[in-house]
Structures are given as C-alpha cells and as structure tokens.
Structure 1
Amino acid sequence: MTITASGSLPPSAPVAVQILDLLMGGWRAGVVSTFAELGVADGLAAGGLTPAQLAVRLGLEHDTAERFFRAGASVGLLRRGEHDTLELTELGRALASDDGSMRNFARWTGSTAERATWAHLATAVRTGRSPFAAMHGSGVWEFMESDPDTAAVFNSAMTELSKRVIQPVIEAFDFSRFSSVTDVGGGRGALLAAVLRKHPEMTGVLFDQPDVVSRSLPELSDAAVAHRVTVKSGSFFDGVPSGSDLFMISNVLHDWDDGRSRLILRNIAEAMHEGAHIAVVEAVAGLDDTADKAISLMDMDMLLLCEGKQRTVEEFRLLMAEVGIELVGVSRAGLQSVVEGRKVSGETGTPGSPRSR
C-alpha cells in the first residue's frame, strides 16, 4: 500500500492507511523538532547549499544528514533547487532564529521533558494524574528550576506563542472601557505592553514572580510604555495587587487543576472592587469543531505536564461563580478567546460556603 508523508489523505484512502498516517504524525513532528534543534534553517539562511555543504556547516555526519534532509523535504521544510542545492520552504523559514520564529516551540516539543512524557498518556488517562513527576523526579515547574537549559527553551517557546496571541486579543476585546489593568502572571509584559500601546490613556500593573518581572524592562521600554507600568512581584497563590478596573490573566489557568485555578481566581476576586472586570485569555474548548481539533490535543498536553486543562465556557462560569465573579461574555480571538467576568456584590466564596466546592 502507498503511504503519504504529508499528513493529508483523501477520504477514500483505506482505513488502515489513514490510521498509519495518523500514527506517523509523531514521526513528522520528530523531524520538525530535530530540524529546529539542529539549526537547519539558520544554516541555510544565507542561501542554498548542497547536502554535503550543509552537513559540514552544521557538523553532521554526511550520509545520515542526507537522509535527514530528505525527510525534511518530505514534510515540507525543504525543497531541491538548481545544482542539487537545498532551499528553505516557507514552513522551513519559520524555524529560523528570528522574530517570526517558531523554532523554540519546535525544540520544546522535541525535548525529553515534553515528548517522553507523551509516551505515558495512557497512564494519565487511566488515573487523571500527570506522570511527569514519576518520570522526571519532580513536577514540571520544579523540573524547570533544576534544568535551566530546558527552562530556557520552554520560556522562549512560550514567548513565541504569546506573540501570536497578542494581536488577535487586543483586536477582539474592548480594553478602552478601562482606565487601568493588572496583568496577573503577565511574564515579561508583552501582552500588557501591547494593550497599553494601543490605549495610551491606560495605566498598568505587571505582576509575576520576582525572577520573571525583573526581566520585563526591555519589553516595556521597547513599547514605550514603561512609564505607565508599575511592576510588582509575588505569587498569585498568595495574593494579587488591588486597585485596577480590569484584571487580565493569559494562559495561566490551563496550567492548573480546578482547585488551584479556583484559588488564583479567588485571590483576583479579593483584589477586585465591586464592578471591576476580569479578562481570562485561554483556548476555550467546545466553541467550534475546527478549533477543538487543536484544543483537544492541547488539553492532553496540559494533563500530561501538570494536570491542567483547557476548559469550556461553562467550566469557567462555574469557577468564576464560586469566587463571586459573574461571567458576562466571551470574545473570540483566533484560537484563543477572552472570557470576561465582573465582580458581583457580596463576599467571595470561601471553603465550606455555598460558592465553594
């Protein structure tokens, strides 16, 4: 039987071929990750080279490199030019080290921390628990602290992804209604900087761990908004700075189970004055079939790494209600959505109260 390497088969293909093609998706991902790890796109940045020349530039064994470049072409990263030279396709160029790159995200998905953990998906589904600590000796966040090289790749990967989230979010959500915003778990401030740049009348607070916000000044300065940002450090598990009209939290809650997410939301709710709003930026499950094809896989990744989850609107509604926040709307922003809530009158939920589980 004939098998394609493109990941796209006609509906008439035999079922066995379709299953095999699905299973080969992991192999294709491995080629992409290795292409990024080896720096193939950077090696070809100055122009086409023969396989032998590129192997020498990258320090690769010649015959094996030739076979790997063939695999790279099969998944659409390379093409053959004149005189048997290799050239980058548009997909291949996206793995070069530049501002529009996806290189570090590809490197992260190929890392032992990520890919080897996926081998234990069955265990995670059976138990509802992440196998990460059993495999690597500690939970994912502790692992990052102990392995700075992996942490650097992971942090760069998350930065690459966040840059693709920012523009759709600031276009989809009406920030102009607010005079001040606190970005909870805001990292180095890329999303906050974009919001403030678009809305020059707003002020902001950037809140995250001390070692994270200590590296925020270049991001804020490049956006010319540093003078409108107050940087505060701490853990959102302990508390959140109060005073803003809007509290924004982007791609944080999916890292945590319901209990920890509820605690984060409760701390935000306690920092909100009555009528203040919250904007939760996440890939929300269950909104449409096309997005769910990606979000359902993201959900499994969250389960594997940290027992987190991609939630539905109703799941967000319930979590918010338990801490005194009313869900008032959902704005689609590409694959992401902005789930908006408003602080309602009364005390936030406490353990043992009707609002808590």
Structure 2
Amino acid sequence: MTVQTSFPEEPSVREDAEVEAPAADSIRRMQELIRGMAVTQMIAAACEVGLPDAVAGDGTSLTSLSERLKVDADVLTRLARALSSHGIFEVEADGGIRHNEASRLLRTTTAGPSLHWAARFWAMPGIWRSWGALGHCVVTGEEAFSHVNDQDFFSYMNGSPEEEALYQRYMASGYPGRYAAIADVLTVAPGERVIDVGGGTGSLARAILERNPDAHAVVYDQASVISAGPGASGNDRLSTQEGSFFDEVPPGGDVYVLSWILHDWPDEKAESILRNCRKAMDAGARLVVVDRVLQEAPQECDPLDLVLDLQMLVLHGGRERTLDDFERLLKAAGFSAPQVLSARPEFSVIQARAV
C-alpha cells in the first residue's frame, strides 16, 4: 500500500525581495532548539543510571564510575562529554568528571532544589509519546495523552507503578517550599475548617495547620491517593475523606483550597469542579486557587509558563490561565471576582468568595 505524504506548498519567492541571509548564530540557535529532544533524553539517561549522585565532590574517573554503576564505559564517557558541551558537568580529556553548578541540580541528595525527578518525568515513556503527538492536539484541539496511550493520564499512572512513582517524586520536588509559601499567605481564623480539594497526601493541609493551631482540615481526594499518603494519624485536627470532585465536595468548610487542580482540566470540567465546590459552600465562604497566572501578552510571560500551558494540553486537555480567565470561570460558578493574595514566578494564590 502506498502512503501519500503531503507537504506544505513551497512559498513563492520574489526575485526583487530584499531578504537578508540569516545570521550564523540564528541558525545555530534554531538547530539547538530542534535537537532539544536529544538533550532531554541525555539528561534523563544520566539521572536514570545514577551519574549525578555518583560523581564525587573532587572529581571522579568515568571508567571507575562505569564499573560502579554497571554501565558501558565508552557510552557513559560519550554521554558525559555531550552533556559537558551543554554546560552540564565538567569533563576532562583524560576521562575525569566533576560537578559544576548545573550538574549539581541533578543530584537527588542536593541540599537545595533538585531537578533530578523533573528530568526523569519529562522523559518518561508515557510523557514522551504524548509530546510526540502534539500535532494531534493542533489539528483536533484534543489532548494527546489518551490518543497515544489509550487511556487518560491518571488511569495510566494508576496502572504504571514505576512511572507513577516518578510522577509523585516530581510533584513532591517541583517547587521546594511551596506548601509553606501558600500557607503563609492564608488567613485562617480559630476554629475554621479548611477543605483541601484534591489535596493528595496532605502536605499543604499540614502546612496550614502548623501555622494555624486552632484550625481543622480535611484532605479530600480519590481513595488510591489517600491510601498512598500518611493519612491523618497523629493529628486530631486533620482528617481525610475519599471521593471525586467531579461528583461532590464535602460541605461545611470555611476555606476551600484547589491547589494545582484547575490547570489540569479544560474550561467545562474546571467549571464543574468549581460548581461542586460552590454547592458545598455557604455564602461568604472562601475559595483559594493555587495555579500559574499567565500574562495576556506572550512577551510578558516566562517561556516556561507557556511550555507548561502546552504540557497541560498534551497530558490532560487542560490549560494555564490568565487572571481574566479565572474571573470568568469563577463568576460562572457563583463566586466573586478573584483577589490575588500572592504572585510568584512559579505560582499565584488567588481568593474568591461564594456569593
């Protein structure tokens, strides 16, 4: 069978058009962008075999490292040399390797933020296949993950223990100090009840309770997520409840929190979550949303924000949103206009009231 492949028509070129030849650095930059997928896999492979953690502080021989890591010495050396050309590790001609500022970020044992799990997550098979189908999103407007993995993201993770473990490590390490930063800007009165909707293993709820010794909190999430966490043992002010925010949300809270929830979903599903929250809330109760807030003009956005906007599309059919987008969703679900409590490069904390 012959497969017909279509290509865009060649644009017509006017002979008299004054077009400058592209500068060499522009060509080189575009080549680097095109080959970015190779660099992603190089970094992930180094992390997968344990290279960042194995390199000693004062330098190590790649030959001795290959024996310790039980990998091919020649390929490890070639990988390390390629990474060093991108500013990751310092590699000498004699095969010595030592850390630099960039490579230290890939250690799991680093005292500061670690990007080890981010590197592993972005190169996982399920994620890699999905980004390979970005064209499907462009043509159809649909997510790519289900298209190439035959099930949605969360169902896939539930059935893939190794990738699920990497995903959870990535989520836990994504923004060091984020739970404390969120809890620091929330005002919770004595006796108030906080419902952390989709609260995962309860890290944010615990941070909120640490700062508010007279408050109570409920972590609400799916049974599989609740069972994987530490539960509420040892804290009589914290409880857990199993369920889906697409069905209902526990009533009786004074503060409802949606932390990194809405960006996973397209507008109609995000609105459904918000409406279920509103049904559970009395008038005047507060809703706190933690998510990235995009600027309207792309040149005012951090490029990472816009990459992550596409990541939400590719994996879930979701999106990052502007403040106007949030206001529109909140108003449709029965909330006041949002108030920005905190704006950081990685995320913003916004608050609205049930009206």
> In the aligned structure 2, how far is the partner of 1:290 from the partner of 1:32?
29
Give the corresponding residue for 1:262. Answer: 271
**The structure with more radius of gyration:** 2
Equivalent residue, structure 1, for 2:319:
309
Matched to 2:126, the amino acid is: A
Closer, same or farther: CA 163–267 of 1 in aligned 2, 3 Å: farther
Residue in 1 that maps onto 2:7: none
Structure-2 separation of matches of 1:278 and 1:333: 19
Q: What displacement does 1:59 show?
A: 1.5
- Which of 40, 44, 50 is the equivalent residue of 1:33? 44
Contact 1:184/1:236 (<8 A) preserved = yes
Is contact 2:289-2:351 (8 Å) kept? Answer: yes
* Structure 2: distance between partners of 1:248 and 1:81: 51
Tell me the equivalent position of 2:200: 187
**Structure 1: how far apart are the matches of 2:196 and 2:165?**
22
Q: Structure 1 residue aligned with 2:146, among 130, 133, 148?
A: 133
Q: Does 1:19 align with 2:52?
A: no
C-alpha change, 1:120 and 1:63, in structure 2 (3 Å) is same
Equivalent residue for 1:275? Answer: 284
Q: Match for residue 255 of structure 2?
A: 246
- Please report how far the alpha carbon of residue 188 of structure 1 lies from its aligned counterpart in structure 2 after TM superposition: 0.4
1:65–1:84 Cα change, 3 Å: closer
CA RMSD, aligned part only?
A: 2.4
* Counterpart residue number, 2:84: 73
Paired AA for residue 313 in structure 1: L
Deviations 1:76-96 (A, max 9, x none): 331247985312223322222
1:293 correspondence with 2:303? yes
**Which of 63, 74, 94 in structure 1 is aligned with 2:74?**
63
Q: Summarize the alignment of residues 204-215 of structure 1 with structure 2, pairs less than 5 Å apart.
A: 204-215=217-228
TM-score by length of 2: 0.85
**Which residue matches 1:336?**
347
Structure 1 CA distance for aligned equivalents of residues 196 and 107 of structure 2: 30
- The structural deviation recorded for 1:15 is 2.5
Q: 290-299 or 160-169: which moved more?
A: 160-169
Query: Contact between 1:291 and 1:335, CA under 8 Å: does it hold in 2?
Result: no
Distance 1:323 1:304 in 2: 26
Native 8 Å contact 1:175 1:195 kept in 2: no
Gaps of 5+ in 2: 1-21
Using the alignment, how far apart are the partners of 1:174 and 1:240 within structure 2? 21
CA distance in 2, matches of 1:175, 1:76: 44
CA distance in 1, matches of 2:182, 2:56: 32
**Please, which runs of 5 or more residues in structure 1 have no aligned partner?**
1-10, 345-357
- How big is the shift at 1:291? 4.2
Measured after TM superposition, the shift of residue 292 of structure 1 is: 3.5
> Residue deviations 1:259-284, cap 9 Å, x none?
11111111111111110111110011
- Partner Cα separation in structure 1 for residue 127 and residue 151 of structure 2: 14
Local SS of the residue matching 1:129: coil
Which whole-Å CA distance do the structure 1 matches of 2:24 and 2:339 have between them?
Answer: 42
Deviation at 1:339, TM superposition (A): 2.0
Q: Aligned residues: percent identity?
A: 29
Tell me by how many angstroms 1:295 deviates: 1.1
SS of the equivalent of 1:334 reads coil
Structure 1 residues 335 and 13, CA gap change in structure 2 (3 angstroms): farther
1:94-138 CA distances to partner (integer Å, 9 max, x unpaired)?
A: 222237432222111011111222122122112111122221222
Separation (CA, whole Å) in 1 of partners of 2:25 and 2:96: 36
- Going from structure 1 to structure 2, the CA distance change for 1:158 and 1:45 (only over 3 Å counts) comes to farther
Whole-angstrom CA distance in 1 between matches of 2:177 and 2:313: 23
Q: Which residue matches 2:178?
A: 165
How far the C-alpha of 1:183 sits from its partner, in A, is 0.6
1:124 paired residue among 133, 137, 147: 137
